[in-house]
Every structure is written in C-alpha cells, then in structure tokens.
Amino acid sequence: MSLEIRTIADGEKITEPGAYRMSMSWYHSQCTPGYSISSSNIRAAVLKSPHAFWKTSDLNPNRYPEREVNSSLILGRAAHALILGDEVFDEHFIFVPDGAPRRPTSVQVAAFKKTGKWSNAAIEGAKFWTEFDKKADGRLLLTSEQVTKIKYMSENLAACPEAVTNLTSSLTEISMIWQDEVTGLWIKSRPDCIPDNGHDFGDLKTFAPKSADLVLSAHRATTDHGYPMQMALAAEGAERVFGTTAKTAALVFIQTSEPYEPVPVEIDEEALYWARVLNRHGINQIAHGFSTGEWPVRADRMTTYSYPPTMLHRFGEMQMGGEIPHMERMS
C-alpha cells in the first residue's frame, strides 16, 4: 500500500487524485476545481431522488436552509471525536464539568456593571464563566449527560474485540479523492478507518435501535441509510488511491442509550457488489443533472398500491370462514 498522504489546508484546492489529511469542513466543501460529491450526496440521489440531492447541495444557490444541529447529531459527532480521535475534541466540543461554580445572578451582574467589581460571592463564578464562554465560542456544547453516555459507549466498544479490531488503524479519517473517468466528477470518500493490518474497512455508527432486537435494528439501519454504498465507495477509493481492494467491510454500531451495546456488522461481498452498482447509478444521475438542469423527484407519476400478498391471503381465509362478508367485485 502506498502511504503518500498530503496535508491540505482549508481553502487549498485539490487538483490531483490522492489521499489527504484535511478538516472535515473543507472535505465537505467544494475542495476540487470541478464539482465534487461524497457518499452522502450519492446516497441522497439514489435512495431519495436527484431532486433531494440538489435541494440540499451547496452548489445550489436556492437550496433549502441548513437545519440546526440536533442533540443526537451532536452526540454522534462527539462520540466519533472521543472514540476514534478523528477530530481534536477540544477544538470542536465543550462541556460544563462537574462542580462548576454557578453563574453570577442578574443582581450580581447588575452590581458589577455599576461598580466594575465582582462581589466576593460572585468572583469565582464570574472568572470561570468568562473563560468558559470565551472558549465555547463556535463549539458544540455537550451536556454532562451526553459526556457520560459517550463514556459508557467507549467502555463497551473497548470490551468488544471485533469492534476494536475494525476501528483500529493508523489511517483514520483519511480523505480519498479522485476524478470519475466516466463523468469527470470528483469523488470523495472518508471512512473512519482504512485498514493497515489486513482487517476490513471500518466505520463507527451511533444508532437508536427501532426494536428490541439490536441486530435486526442495525441491519435495518444499514439498509435504510445505504451504508453498503458508503463502504463500497471507500473500497473503490482505496483501489484508486492506494492500489488495494476489499471484498468485505465492517460497520460497528453502538447504542446511544442504555445498555449502550456495540453491534459489529460485516458487509459481505455480494452487498458491496450491488452497492457499487448503485453508486455508479447515483454518480450518473448527478452528472446528468449538472449537464441538463434536470433533477427529477422520486415519485414523478402515480404509483399503485396493493395489499401485501400475506394480507390478501388472510382476507380470503376470513371470507371463507365467514368472518368478513362476501361482496361483488366492481365491474
């Protein structure tokens, strides 16, 4: 594996395929001379519609307003920062430590404005919160509850050997960028871990299970969010940039609520094949949109609904058993 990895500063354009160390914000921007798209863009076009991609693209001057960062997203980002070390946690997040003094009251603040001095009762809190607010500027604020959750998540991941194996690498958060030969679009991939010891590509996923069956929930999340497509793009990026290949990939899910269990999931060879097919389809769709200005919605014509076959079979049995009435079909 060729390990030539360049460090790119914010604002510096990438003009040739390669592996780069760069900030997450610059990675998600238009960091190449031509249009650049990532896995999330491709998945939006395929799993939702080209319209969905375009209405949230930073290339669209009439895109939808950016949504506020919610608490679950903040928790997920912070978990990545602390568990994987893919960001300098102190540069992006801050939390109020246990035992922090109270903020000065409105009466104490009013007295300070009048005299220019803090009272003995307020001086400790004023000093702490002045420094805290200055440090917190531009960072995401974590609650003590979120910090505790991340601690539990980290402990449980560390106790799962397969999770540790697939999230351990000297190549974490490396951005692989190359130009698609078919469309000319620049493609970006940034998996959590590029393997350097023979294991799978690895990616950490925080999730809130939708059922009591954690494995089933993890598999459903894998399908719903198109994670095989994300990992297939990472494998293609490694082929283009490092000259390696991968037949399987690993996702490590971790619950964001009790009991904070890890669920390692392997993406098999068949899934990665079809994921590559879907990636190709998505790239082609986006390229077509850029060249024509056409961004079709998912349901561009009337769709037909039918009851599932199991329900139709059950209805027939119920009619035969006299549980529901017989009626003439409409001619």
For the stretch 147-188, pLDDT in tens is 888 889 889 998 998 888 888 877 888 899 999 999 999 999
pLDDT number for residue 85: 67
For the stretch 23-68, pLDDT in tens is 888 999 999 999 999 999 999 999 999 999 999 999 999 999 887 7
Mean pLDDT, residues 89-117 taken together = 86
Could you tell me the two tokens for 106?
A: 């409105």
Report the C-alpha gap between 156 and 206 in whole angstroms: 13
Mean pLDDT, residues 237-259 taken together = 89
For the stretch 287-323, pLDDT in tens is 999 999 999 999 888 999 999 999 999 999 999 999 9
Domain with CATH 3.90.320.10 in the chain: 5-91+143-292
pLDDT number for residue 198: 60
Mean pLDDT, residues 14-18 taken together = 93
pTM as predicted:
0.82
For the chain, how long is the longest CA-to-CA vector? 90
Q: Which of 14, 3, 39, 6 is nearest to 192 (CA)?
A: 39
- The residue ranking higher by pLDDT, 136 or 189, is 189
Over 70: is that where the pLDDT of 199 sits?
no
pLDDT number for residue 81: 77
Q: Do residues 5 and 21 make contact, with C-beta atoms less than 8 angstroms apart?
A: yes
Mean pLDDT, residues 261-280 taken together = 95
Q: What is the CATH number of domain 5-91+143-292?
A: 3.90.320.10
Report the C-alpha gap between 250 and 194 in whole angstroms: 11
Could you tell me the two tokens for 269?
A: 């060879």
Grouping H, G, I as helix, E, B as strand and the rest as coil, residue 136 is helix
Mean pLDDT, residues 210-238 taken together = 94
Mean pLDDT, residues 227-256 taken together = 91
Decide: residue 75, CB within 10 A, 0-12 exposed, 13-18 middle, 19+ buried: buried
pLDDT number for residue 3: 65
Provide the 8-state DSSP code for 116.
Answer: S
